[in-house]
Homo-oligomer: A and B are copies of this chain.
Amino acid sequence: KGDAKAGEEKAVMCVACHGAKGKISVPLYPNLAGQNEAYLAHALHAYKKGERSGGQAEVMKAYVNGLSDEDIDNLAAYYASMEP
């Protein structure tokens, strides 16, 4: 279980594509606000492990490569805590 407050500090690099409140008008990118915490962590790990390709997967991999497991848990907690 992550720390949403710590996740907020890490989320500065996420907002360009996913929006300051986890919702974004770019229809090809997913909204994150209120998404299930465990799924968010799973998806970030999947990008990091190279389990996703196509679309923006390489971009996501580049961002996620710099994150620790704790960072991932915290980011997941942060976005899961937002109002969808």
Residues of A within 8 A of B (CB): 24, 26-31, 33-39, 42-43, 46, 49, 51-55, 57, 84
Contact = CB atoms under 8 A, between A and B. Distances in A.
Most B Cβ at <10 Å: residue of A29, A36, A53: A36
Most B Cβ at <10 Å: residue of A27, A38, A42, A57: A27
A27 B31 contact: no
A36 B31 contact: yes
If over half of A's interface residues share one DSSP class (helix, strand or loop), that class is named, otherwise mixed; here it is: loop
Copies of this chain present: 2
A29 B24 contact: no
Contacts of A43: 30
A70 B10 CA distance: 38
